[in-house]
Amino acid sequence: MKPCVVAVWMSVCLLSGQQVESFDAVWGTIAAKHWNPKQLEALPGGGSWESLRPEYRKRVEEALGQAEVRTILREMIGKIGKSHYAIAGFEVKASKALRSGGGTSPGFRVGLVEGKVVVTGVGGLVTDVKLGWEVVAVEGVALRPAVLEIQKQAGETMQAGLRMHQMLQNQIGGYAGETLTYEFLVDGKVAKSVSLKLPQGDGSAGFGFVQGMSVGREFALLGAGKDVGYFRLDMFLDLVRVLPQFEKAIQSCVKCRGFVIDLRGNPGGVAVMANAMAGWFVKESGVKLGTMYQRGVDLKFIVIPRLNGFGGPLAILVDGASASTSEILAGGMQDLKRARIFGSRTAGAALPSVIESLPNGDLFQFAVANYVSESGAELEGHGVKPDVEIAHSIAALRAGKDRALGAALDWIYANPSHTAQR
């Protein structure tokens, strides 16, 4: 055998070996670390985790490349029927309908409202974009085909709203410092083109293998008397910066009539941040947001009351893209009857998870525990049901109104006896 042929053969064998090792790592990790082995004995679609191994291992051995291996592994872990199981690699999107996008927000947020991609939130630094405008294209790429592609990928699962939100933000996002041109329809008919330079974030947040992100957050005083605190958080990350800022927001509300935490579009992050934030609104010692059940270990989400906490009405805003830690905070505070929840049912993706690197270089996310709220409700697959279910409407947004936020403010002002108690 010629040297070059030998070298190619050895390279192929090495790559094939890495794929099989990656399969063994995925299958073995789930078998060893799933919080409830009995659930692996009877999968939702039939069969057991053990019975899947021979078939899927053989398919990986016969796979023609790493992309095919990803597809096989994703199919296998999908049999578990739970959130927070994923295989991530550096793939080129197959569909031309989707922009490559980027992780930096342009300063406004969008959502699929009544079948259209509509601006649902605008940051203070963006003055050329308004609520209710429909985004029809980014950098000349029409969004309608992307929406259809995203809907196809997301399917009809409960987490479809979460998937749609994340991919839509990617479609309108880019990289810090670059200028993107957006095409809008104003009032559904007047075309308007706006070019925006994407802001430079601190890029300090990260979790495991995911690093370099900027966490969007905002504090404001709202209401007719500017006497209701409002804190929006895009992700539960960067706790070194976010938690002191949240504390400062609470301290700015000594005389506030109420407080609103906006977790819409927040996919979660570091779970202990929920405990820390809850502590500013709870007086009693020994209460908890819920319990995390791992194999052989139970972790209770104990809330430690903070000095000079806020005793007034607390509203939490959620939607179908609020997941994981967002659900822990919203569901836990709802169970404690310390907060009233406004918006849409959450994603029902509340499993704590970790991310590890596979031998072939891909990343593997897997759940390590189940979360049950204080009332005994399992949030995975069920989500948090708001006390007041109310979603965006195009007509309201065009009028500059956020219906869920408005309902929360109305509730706070309708409770004059519930003033801040220090």
Per-residue model confidence as pLDDT tens digits over 238-290: 889 999 999 999 999 989 999 999 999 999 988 899 999 999 999 998 899 98
309 burial class (0-12, 13-18, 19+ CB within 10 angstroms)? middle
33: tokens are 């670390």
Q: CB count, 10 Å around CB of 363?
A: 16
> 156 pLDDT exceeds 70?
no
Domain boundaries 215-355+366-413, CATH class: alpha beta
Dihedral through CA 266, CA 267, CA 269, CA 272, nearest 10? 70
The share of the chain scoring above pLDDT 90, in percent, equals 55
> 177 pLDDT exceeds 60?
yes
Give the range among 29-33, 133-137, 165-169, 320-324 with minimum mean pLDDT: 165-169
Residue 90, pLDDT score: 56
Residue 247, pLDDT score: 96
Give the range among 201-205, 281-285, 395-399 with minimum mean pLDDT: 201-205
Return the biggest CA–CA distance within the chain: 88
Residue 210, pLDDT score: 52
The share of the chain scoring above pLDDT 70, in percent, equals 88
Q: CB count, 10 Å around CB of 338?
A: 19
> 383 pLDDT exceeds 80?
yes
Of 269 and 318, the structure prediction assigns the larger pLDDT to 318
Residue 386 pLDDT grade (very low, low, confident, very high; cuts 50, 70, 90): very high
Q: Which CATH architecture has domain 108-197?
A: Roll (2.30)
Partners of 180 in the β-ladder:
196
Listed in order, the ranges of the chain carrying CATH 3.90.226.10 are 215-355+366-413
Mean pLDDT value of segment 357-364:
90
Give the range among 217-231, 243-257, 293-307 with minimum mean pLDDT: 293-307
> 162 pLDDT exceeds 90?
no
Residue 209, pLDDT score: 45
| Contact between residue 321 and residue 330 where contact means Cβ atoms under 8 Å apart | no
> 21 pLDDT exceeds 50?
yes
- The mean predicted confidence, pLDDT, of the chain is 86
Listed in order, the ranges of the chain carrying CATH 2.30.42.10 are 108-197
Residues 6+ apart with CB under 8 A from 160: 151, 154, 320
Angle, helices 49-62 vs 66-78, to 10°: value is 170
| Contact between residue 376 and residue 331 where contact means Cβ atoms under 8 Å apart | no
State the alpha helices, DSSP H only, in 87-174. Answer: 143-154, 160-172
